[in-house]
Amino acid sequence: KRLILIGPPGSGKGTQSPIIKDEYCLCHLATGDMLRAAVAAKTPLGIKAKEAMDKGDLVSDDLVVGIIDEAIKKPSCQKGFILDGFPRTVVQAEKLDEMLAKQGTKIDKVLNFAIDDAILEERITGRWIHQASGRTYHTKFAPSKVPGIDDVTGDPLMQRKDDTAEVLKLRLEAFHRQTEPVVDYYTKKGVVAELQAEKPPKEVTAEVQKALA
């Protein structure tokens, strides 16, 4: 299957991704994770992306389209993939459809993580991440056994620089203005399934499974 996850920051995309990935053996492509890795490694791409990311703005369409174009051509992604955080603009969606048309494929399903903005600040400011694996914890909703330590590896957890209430406001503005139109774009193609993303994680997983059955 070829899937897209769309939802505001903190809506639970990263939490549901590994479950979907394991169940359907798909490759997981998260543009945010890829960009953060490029920033950390100070690659030319990372240097270009950093300023926009720190401010809660989107990075340029050309940059992310290039990353995805390269990734979906990989042999490991031929059976299907989960796009997490891409496309975030209608231009990105159109470019993606062009790339897939060239391969003779298309998007099977768009999972729309619907959630009220009011819930997201608590989710984002409590988020702790194990960088190497992408495992995500939450101080209140999904605490690690030892605070600040990954359950599996014992490594320290970290918080994202942009996971503050202030930057979240800007990221949400970008979401409503630039990414919500992407949902309309795919709704016209009849491939969108809406999830009640404010429910507990297990209930959201059940909705995902129903949408993909």
Sites of contact with ligand ADP (CB under 6 A): 7, 9-15, 31-32, 35, 52-53, 56-59, 64, 85-86, 88, 92, 123, 126-128, 136-139, 141-144, 147-148, 157, 171, 200-201, 204
Residue number, 104 or 165, with CB nearest to ligand ADP: 165
Residue number, 142 or 183, with CB nearest to ligand ADP: 142
Question: The tokens 């798909």 sit on which residue?
Answer: 26
The encoded tokens of residue 129 equal 């991440």
CB 48 within 8 A of CB 63: yes
CB 6 within 8 A of CB 110: yes
**Is residue 160 annotated as a catalytic residue, yes or no?**
yes
Residue number, 75 or 202, with CB nearest to ligand ADP: 202
| Beta carbon of residue 66, minimum distance to ligand ADP (angstroms, whole number) | 11
Quote the CA–CA distance of 203 and 141 in Å, as a whole number.
14
The encoded tokens of residue 21 equal 């990935």
What single DSSP character describes residue 79? S
**Is residue 74 annotated as a catalytic residue, yes or no?**
no
**Is residue 123 annotated as a catalytic residue, yes or no?**
no
What single DSSP character describes residue 57? P
| Beta carbon of residue 105, minimum distance to ligand ADP (angstroms, whole number) | 19
Quote the CA–CA distance of 82 and 29 in Å, as a whole number.
6
**Is residue 169 annotated as a catalytic residue, yes or no?**
no
CB 40 within 8 A of CB 46: yes
The encoded tokens of residue 181 equal 């139109």
| Beta carbon of residue 71, minimum distance to ligand ADP (angstroms, whole number) | 12
Residue number, 35 or 107, with CB nearest to ligand ADP: 35
Q: Of 36, 50, 127, 135, which residue is the catalytic one?
A: 127
**Is residue 135 annotated as a catalytic residue, yes or no?**
no
Contacts of 89 (CB under 8 A, 6+ apart): 58, 61, 178, 179, 181, 182
Q: Of 50, 88, 123, 135, which residue is the catalytic one?
A: 88
Map residue 74 onto helix, strand or coil.
coil
| Beta carbon of residue 188, minimum distance to ligand ADP (angstroms, whole number) | 20
Residue number, 25 or 158, with CB nearest to ligand ADP: 158
| Beta carbon of residue 132, minimum distance to ligand ADP (angstroms, whole number) | 15
Residues with catalytic roles: 13, 88, 127, 160, 171
